Chain A
Amino acid sequence: METRSFKKGLPKLFMHLRSQPIEFVLFLCASFSVVILLLMLLFVVMEGSLAFTRLGTQLILGQMWKTNSDLYGGFPLIYGSLMVVSGALLISIPLGICTSIFIAEILPFQLRDPIKSVIELLASIPSVIYGFIGVTFLAPLIASIFGLQSGATAFTASLILAIMVLPTIVGVSGETISAVPIEYKEAALALGASKWQTIRNVILPLSKSGMLASVMLGFGRAIGETVAVLMVAGNVAMVPTPPWNYLAPVYPVTAVIAMQMGEAAVGSLEYSALFGLGLILFIITFAVNTIADVIVRRRPVGRSVQL
């Protein structure tokens, strides 16, 4: 069955090419993303295959990451990444969503664009600079506040990451709020609802899924952040004791990759294990994005809704 459609498909394709060359080129460009994504998966899997066959689930569940003894257990690293990211989101979600509501609904009209631009500019500060600020200003501050030996902790990394993902959350959820048709708002206000009632009962429910999507996007951005995290997270390949201790250092996956990739001999188990970690990151972000996508698709209003 499949082979038949394949045989039939090929000549049709070339016929199609002759009649619709432009559409074909456009389609090629559009499918580029799919192809690249598949190539990415293939190559990361290929380079990581040695680690998967030799280490198996040890790469994800193993407790020890010791390059000296060729032990590559990624659990403390993955745990560190998730810990830092969830800390960052706990800080940035309330901040970001309140900010986006305030900007879109409460702030005087003339101030909206300038303030939105300022927050957009926060996104454009390179992560090296964030890392630098984290190391030189934030870490000593945190060390002295909590009376720690060193300020390079999961908490510091979470704070820096929170600042870095704020613009994403503010931007995307702000967009969904302004995508709520003005007629809905006007109808609510005309019915005698106060501004706050309108926000709470009309705007928030309608843009809930968009906000969730913005959080997912923020998660993706945060878990992939490398340079800043490497500089402030403390880099100890151990699950903190107790596991929720944010004032302990962690060693997130991205930091390990950036730190060891330059040193690993191509083709060695270490090199392969780093690609294995890369694949785990890839899968996590892939899953999160897919969830975000499903949420956005289900959302009741969007830009395409018109009255």
Chain B
Amino acid sequence: MSGQTGEKVIFAILGVPMLICILIFLWILSLLLTGIGTVRWELFTMSALRGGMLEMIVGTIYLLLGAAAVAGPIGVLAAIYLVEYAPSGGLTRIIDQAINNLAGVPSIVIGLFGYTFFCRHLGLGVSLAAGWLTLALMMLPIVIRGSEEALRMVPASFREAALALGATRWKAISSTILPAAAPGVVTSVILGMARVAGETAAILFTSCVLITRGLPKTPFEPVMALSYNLFVQIVALGAPAQRVFGITLVLFMIVTSLSLSAILLRSYYRLRQPWLRMKG
């Protein structure tokens, strides 16, 4: 009996940190929500030239989609190689290690590299394309790791069945394993986008400007983005909180809706695909 009460006390103590985490979250949420009354919603669809933030929202989406278009295919193909083809040797370990290290490179260093390599060395200048490539570097490890996990979840019987039917190795992968892993792969890309959507340091030097007309027409033009704008508004222009609350909220909404959709997608397919439930 006393052992049980002791246990309960321990559990209660362990629960305190979690409550603190939740409280922190609620505190931040409440800080953000206090500003919601001051936001003029029509700003969302108004051009930046008229004081709105349409270009910044679309610009952020441009950056995200472009980065996903670069990092998605490369990441998925890399994951397929690592799961299906890679020999278990020193080389694979090096690749593995490189992916982990890439994930750990501070975003400011990625920004520095993006500036010297994409902007100056490749001559892209401060441009949308440079932003895509820089952000893609940040997304890549997330996409690879997520896709790898999704591919590993597919039961071996799928591949064996396809191979037994006379399919070539690639055929087996592309026709059975990849479709089965697709939801997980998509989730990993969305998570990657959520990770970089609020990123400021990486695009600080590489692709953003404070104001320009309209959206970039070619990838070689700079772009306006929410996170950068927020940074400049607060840090350099000293705009009062109320004036930038709209931007803060939109950015928060974009990032959280990306994360939430990834979370929902993941749990939905966990229910749909029985083999995931077995291992999940």
Interfacial residues, chain A to chain B (CB-CB below 8 A): 22-23, 25-27, 29-34, 36-37, 39-40, 43-44, 46-47, 94-96, 98-99, 101-103, 106-107, 113, 115, 117-129, 131-133, 136-137, 163, 166, 170, 194-196, 217, 220-221, 223-227, 230-231, 254, 257-258, 261-262, 266, 274-275, 278, 281-282, 285-286, 288-290, 292-293, 303
Contact = CB atoms under 8 A, between A and B. Distances in A.
Nearest to A196: B7
A209 to B, nearest CB: 15
A132 B34 CA distance: 14
B77 interface: yes
Interface in B165-215: 170, 194-195, 197-201, 204-205
B217 interface: no
A292 B77 contact: no
A286 B263 CA distance: 30
B108 interface: yes
B98 A34 contact: yes
A286 B198 contact: no
B47 interface: no
B121 A286 contact: no
16 contacts: A22-B170, A32-B140, A46-B116, A47-B116, A102-B17, A119-B21, A126-B197, A126-B230, A128-B227, A227-B200, A274-B112, A286-B101, A288-B104, A289-B97, A293-B100, A303-B152
A275 B112 contact: yes
Contact of A128 (B112, B115, B137, B230): B230
Given A120-B259, A120-B263, A121-B259, A44 B14 contact: no
A198 to B, nearest CB: 11
Contacts of B116: 43-44, 46-47, 275
Contacts of A293: 96-97, 100
B140 A262 contact: no
A258 B15 CA distance: 38
Contact of A40 (B10, B85, B113): B113
* Interface SS, A side: helix
A222 to B, nearest CB: 10
Q: How many residues of B sit at the interface, in one of the four size bands?
A: 35 or more
A101 B14 contact: yes
Given A106-B14, A126-B230, A132-B248, A289 B101 contact: yes
B180 to A, nearest CB: 18
A125 B3 contact: no
Contact of B106 (A27, A170, A196, A281): A281
Contact of B11 (A40, A166, A196): A196
A254 B81 contact: no
Contacts of A195: 7
B98 A33 contact: yes
B234 interface: yes
Nearest to A225: B106
B33 interface: no
A27 B74 CA distance: 10
B61 interface: no
Contacts of A25: 77
B78 A121 contact: no
A33 B141 contact: yes
Contacts of B231: 128, 227
Given A33-B144, A163-B24, A278 B85 contact: no
A126 B28 contact: no
A71 B44 CA distance: 47
